Structure 1
Amino acid sequence: MTFRTLLAATAAFAIACPAVAQSDDAKPAAEAAPAPYEANSASETFTGTFGGRSVRYTATVQEQVLEAEDGTPKAAIVTTSYIAEPRDAERPVTFLFNGGPGSGSVWLQMGAFGPKRVAIPSDARDDGAPPYPILDNPDSLLDVTDLVFIDPVGTGFSHTIGETKGEEYWGVTKDAKSVAEVIRMWLDDNGRWNSPKFLGGESYGTTRSAAVVNELEGQYNDVALNGVILISTVLDFGAGAETEGAELGYITTLPSMAATALYHGKATARSVEQFVEDARQFAIGPYAAFLLKGQNADAQERAAVRAELARFTGLSEEYLDRADLRVSSGRFYKELLRDRGLTVGRLDSRYTGVDYDSAGETPDNDPSFYGIDGGYTAAVNHFMRDTLGYDTEERYVTIGYVGPWDWRLEGGRDTNAYLNVAPYLGRALRENSGLRIFVGQGWYDFATPFFAAEYALSRTGFPQDRIEWQYYDSGHMMYVRDEDRQKLSEDVRAFIRAR
């Protein structure tokens, strides 16, 4: 007889027999209740100079615990707050996050707006190996606003608790609801309900921004916002979709191809601004008309479009003919500098890489990502663990897998087939007269092309006088270039001050 069988037989015997050895007033021992979850945190006070002003501030890494209706802890979302001292309940506060959707806030925090930053090459070179300089960041926004960086579930140090599955938080709407809840909790805990409030994100973080705005302002118990900061914007996913039969993506990426061709000497123009504007007009004029005609376009029109397309993209007319005058981004990265044995980056097409060979249709990897990731990963772990003393067994997720991601939106019949969160922002602008939007875009960004962002935010229902546009001579993470980090800081600082 096995031990398990013996145990079962013993248990059955005990149930069948009277409990003669147990006194009448004896009670079974109560099951031990699970220990309450203790939120992790660490805090230090520093002094720095930001925007030319000396600021004493407290940095706090804190788990914000999300609970079920019965109080069971389900997830810990980590916020990193930088609060000026002495504290002011009416000082602006800005909530920031990155994208992915599996990206931690390290990029905006240690690259752009936090009080410390990692120094990597500013001229589109690889960041190499450690040690990486971690410097005071005079371009931080702490002189004009307190800062709260949020890492959604599955990013940074944030994680689920107990039996909770990450899928409960992984989706456009699910994610937005959890982030909105964290913002409300932070306002409660810090007494900041009457502070001017700004919300900002980068890349998918701009998608998240629009969805979070809907959660904060789309009901009667509003958290009203003063501004939304969109950096490298993707709102209308149809505008850049490279799907067989869809034509709009070729139009919205063409100006980015023109800027890249000019940067690498494959085109000539007086300035990137003028060349990009010419490419915009060609894209929405002759090129759009040609694409919409499909195979009904005649040979003369095709020849004229092909010649202009070659001028803007730096690609040969022979190659364009083989691609039927429709060049996907991946093909462009590989083809533009094929004669030099180089590829160009997706996040930032100023970067170049060397593939296994010069054949093939698309690059082996993105040189503009592997050119920066080592420095940021080292910096955030060093700062959080060693400088702030945040003690955790979690690994910081800079870019990780959060999936399967639920892309469905709450709403009408067609919203799930055509993902576009831009209308959330249009509604918020119409219903909050004090709300403004800042949009920052890099010329050399193919992940979130600037022309696609312009398209999304110029549709019906968007008050154009409350949308501010700024452009940068770099790519998706414009702050990796020193001059653009300074310009971005000045632009956003001015946007916050102008509330």
Structure 2
Amino acid sequence: MKTRLMLLSASLLCLGPASGRADDHTDANHAAHPAPHLSQPIERTSSGSVTVGGKSIAYQAVAGTLVVHPHGWDDSEDTVHQEIPGSDAHAIDGNPDATASMFYVAYFRKDARPETRPITFVFNGGPGSSTVWVHMGAFGPRRVVTNDDTHTPAGPYRLIDNPQSLLDVTDLVFIDAPGTGFGRINGKDKEKQFWGVDEDGQAFTAFITRFLAKYGRYNSPKYLFGESYGTMRAAVLVNDLQNQENIDFNGVILLSQIFSYDNSVDEPTQNPGMDEPFVLALPTYAATAWYHHKLPQQPTDLKAFLAEVEHFASTDYLVALQQGAGLPAADRARIVERLHAYTGLPADYIRRADLRIDGGEFSKTLQADDGMTTGRLDTRFSGPVLDPLSKEAGYDPQSASISSAYVSLFNDYVRKVLNYGDGLSYRAEIDIPHWNFHHAAGGPDSPPSDGPANVMPDLAQAMKTNPTLKIMLNAGYFDLATPYYEGIYEMRHLPIPAALQKNIEFRQYQSGHMVYANIPSLTQLHDNIADFIRRTDNQPASGSPAP
């Protein structure tokens, strides 16, 4: 299953220096530099400014790559180093192990002391997605402009200064997963070495430790931000960093969480007897039907309505599903009517589905009479049905509506403003058909499980070994890829002492998987995260200018 994320907004064409565009004098030797070899660590530096909260923030931007190795690699092994012309970096040749060249874009506030300035490592998910979406749609100094819940027309697109950038409270490092973006993987068994739950976690662990050393940020307040599969990565990563590398983090910020694939509503019928996904997705079905006015009776208060649906889902509905074929006919009829009232789906359809409708079936059926398919990443979006006779939706209208704007504008921005990428191809997403979901819960030296990946033990261990670690879960009501109630359920079932539950906080928004695709929700997201960082950075004045 792939839980991809996407969003962007902006048009580079109208930007001048006052709007935060990189200074023209930056990296004067760039034109003389040849396109870098894909496995070489290299960087480009530029400068800009952005206004957040009415205050101008000057920043330095660094676009580059770091080379990392699989878990267990010994840096004392014989290795041939080759100087890179025009750079202080080295290419690594002759090493039999696989390597990953991971692309990143970092933004450092110029008037802050690095030793006290918070730093946040940000990544999207997939597996197989770059971090273009949250970079250009949420927290970078530039933001892509897209339509709120309809298809964004083809270019030219607009890129604007981002007043919701998190540069007001933290430096930012946007990291692309191995094999995505401008990064590439090379060497023996490269796919096996980097494409898996644990392998990916170790690559990011190596990247962050190298980054902290390269830029002298070991003593800064540190945060992880992961979206979608990136939340699974964040749970593995914070545990590995804290308990393998002895690097404690102040906080983990999660958006659109999935920790256990047993809870996915994508194709739960392939796992018969596991009814939890239908329970956890029901509130999102209800929110979606409410948004599209498909309910028999339209409530006025969405939050109150969802609280009612959550209670029904976790009580009467769950009990009914657990009875299976033993559910009495009268009780079955009563549940069918309640599901019809909460989802707007035809009662006969619910009856024939045996009370169990997965995400693809819901997307295809809710607006079928109108000839429309409902979005998956963001159910506020709709698009024409591809196949009227299919059982499930054949595509995601939200992805189709906004992806071109994000990818097009980033390709302009990274070359024209960040001065990186000439002669190279940027891979926004890659297809990974054989991702290794076998996971060694608790750390890379533990035995891997044979079942679907579940990283709840990883976050639990990180919280128990660092009881000051704070967690923030953000979710959209209209997210069918990772339903918001699923995240709440997983957090409330972490194997941690009850006292540590106070370290977890929850925020929901009237948006989808990419909460930031809705501007009011993006504003709330920024404000909530900024407040979270200020409360947890362990210093009296976060991000204050140097004296």
Kept in 2, the 8 Å contact 1:154–1:402? The answer is no
Kept in 1, the 8 Å contact 2:364–2:374? The answer is yes
What aligned pairs does 1:212-361 form with structure 2 within 5 A after superposition? 212-219=237-244, 221-241=245-265, 242=268, 243-245=270-272, 246-267=274-295, 268-361=298-391
Kept in 1, the 8 Å contact 2:67–2:102? The answer is yes
Kept in 2, the 8 Å contact 1:50–1:140? The answer is yes
- 49, 54, 67: which one pairs with 1:52? 54
Q: Which residue of 2 aligns with 1:145?
A: 170
After superposition, the Cα gap between the structure-2 partners of 1:431 and 1:472, relative to the gap in structure 1 and judged at 3 Å, is same
Query: Which whole-Å CA distance do the structure 1 matches of 2:235 and 2:458 have between them?
Result: 6
Displacement of 1:418: 3.9
Deviations 1:73-126 (A, max 9, x none): 32211111000113512100000000001010111100001001111112x111
Q: Indicate the larger mover: 269-278 or 60-69.
A: 60-69
Query: Which whole-Å CA distance do the structure 1 matches of 2:107 and 2:454 have between them?
Result: 33
Kept in 1, the 8 Å contact 2:38–2:182? The answer is no
Query: Which whole-Å CA distance do the structure 2 matches of 1:145 and 1:36 have between them?
Result: 30
Q: Which residue of 1 aligns with 2:63?
A: 61
Q: Which residue of 2 aligns with 1:198?
A: 223
Q: Partner letter of residue 52 of structure 1?
A: G
Q: What SS is found at the alignment partner of 2:56? A: strand
What aligned pairs does 1:98-113 form with structure 2 within 5 A after superposition? 98-113=124-139
Query: Which whole-Å CA distance do the structure 1 matches of 2:390 and 2:431 have between them?
Result: 27
Query: Which whole-Å CA distance do the structure 1 matches of 2:191 and 2:413 have between them?
Result: 26
Query: Which whole-Å CA distance do the structure 2 matches of 1:175 and 1:491 have between them?
Result: 29
Deviations 1:30-68 (A, max 9, x none): xxxxx9974222111112112332111001101101255
| Corresponding residue pairs, total | 463
Query: Which whole-Å CA distance do the structure 1 matches of 2:417 and 2:334 have between them?
Result: 61
Q: Partner letter of residue 249 of structure 1?
A: P
Quick check: 1:395 aligned with 2:425?
yes
Kept in 2, the 8 Å contact 1:75–1:164? The answer is no
Query: Which whole-Å CA distance do the structure 2 matches of 1:214 and 1:244 have between them?
Result: 29
Q: Which residue of 2 aligns with 1:482?
A: 519
Kept in 1, the 8 Å contact 2:121–2:175? The answer is yes
Q: Partner letter of residue 130 of structure 2?
A: G
Q: Indicate the larger mover: 279-288 or 425-434.
A: 425-434
Point out where structure 2 has 5 or more consecutive residues left out of the alignment. Answer: 1-36, 81-91, 93-98, 537-547
Q: Partner letter of residue 63 of structure 1?
A: T
Query: Which whole-Å CA distance do the structure 2 matches of 1:37 and 1:334 have between them?
Result: 43
Q: Which residue of 1 aligns with 2:180?
A: 155
Displacement of 1:311: 0.5
Q: Partner letter of residue 150 of structure 1?
A: I
Query: Which whole-Å CA distance do the structure 2 matches of 1:471 and 1:490 have between them?
Result: 13
Q: What SS is found at the alignment partner of 2:376? A: coil
Q: Which residue of 1 aligns with 2:24?
A: none
Kept in 1, the 8 Å contact 2:457–2:494? The answer is no
- 122, 131, 146: which one pairs with 1:120? 146
Q: Which residue of 1 aligns with 2:416?
A: 386
Query: Which whole-Å CA distance do the structure 2 matches of 1:129 and 1:439 have between them?
Result: 34
After superposition, the Cα gap between the structure-2 partners of 1:37 and 1:211, relative to the gap in structure 1 and judged at 3 Å, is closer
Query: Which whole-Å CA distance do the structure 2 matches of 1:180 and 1:399 have between them?
Result: 21
Identity of matched residues, %: 35
Query: Which whole-Å CA distance do the structure 1 matches of 2:126 and 2:522 have between them?
Result: 21
After superposition, the Cα gap between the structure-2 partners of 1:36 and 1:128, relative to the gap in structure 1 and judged at 3 Å, is closer
Q: Which residue of 2 aligns with 1:170?
A: 195
After superposition, the Cα gap between the structure-2 partners of 1:171 and 1:392, relative to the gap in structure 1 and judged at 3 Å, is farther
Q: Which residue of 2 aligns with 1:466?
A: 503
Query: Which whole-Å CA distance do the structure 1 matches of 2:55 and 2:318 have between them?
Result: 50
Kept in 2, the 8 Å contact 1:126–1:372? The answer is yes
Query: Which whole-Å CA distance do the structure 2 matches of 1:52 and 1:155 have between them?
Result: 35
After superposition, the Cα gap between the structure-2 partners of 1:393 and 1:437, relative to the gap in structure 1 and judged at 3 Å, is same
Query: Which whole-Å CA distance do the structure 2 matches of 1:167 and 1:393 have between them?
Result: 28
Quick check: 1:491 aligned with 2:525?
no
Q: What SS is found at the alignment partner of 1:384? A: helix
Query: Which whole-Å CA distance do the structure 1 matches of 2:275 and 2:428 have between them?
Result: 33
Q: Which residue of 2 aligns with 1:26?
A: none
After superposition, the Cα gap between the structure-2 partners of 1:336 and 1:475, relative to the gap in structure 1 and judged at 3 Å, is same
Query: Which whole-Å CA distance do the structure 1 matches of 2:393 and 2:262 have between them?
Result: 24
Q: Partner letter of residue 354 of structure 2?
A: D
Kept in 2, the 8 Å contact 1:261–1:336? The answer is yes
After superposition, the Cα gap between the structure-2 partners of 1:449 and 1:299, relative to the gap in structure 1 and judged at 3 Å, is same
Kept in 1, the 8 Å contact 2:125–2:226? The answer is yes
Q: Partner letter of residue 202 of structure 2?
A: K
Query: Which whole-Å CA distance do the structure 1 matches of 2:415 and 2:163 have between them?
Result: 22
Point out where structure 1 has 5 or more consecutive residues left out of the alignment. Answer: 1-34
After superposition, the Cα gap between the structure-2 partners of 1:303 and 1:132, relative to the gap in structure 1 and judged at 3 Å, is same
After superposition, the Cα gap between the structure-2 partners of 1:374 and 1:198, relative to the gap in structure 1 and judged at 3 Å, is same
Q: Partner letter of residue 252 of structure 1?
A: L
Query: Which whole-Å CA distance do the structure 1 matches of 2:388 and 2:495 have between them?
Result: 47
Query: Which whole-Å CA distance do the structure 2 matches of 1:423 and 1:364 have between them?
Result: 34
After superposition, the Cα gap between the structure-2 partners of 1:183 and 1:144, relative to the gap in structure 1 and judged at 3 Å, is same
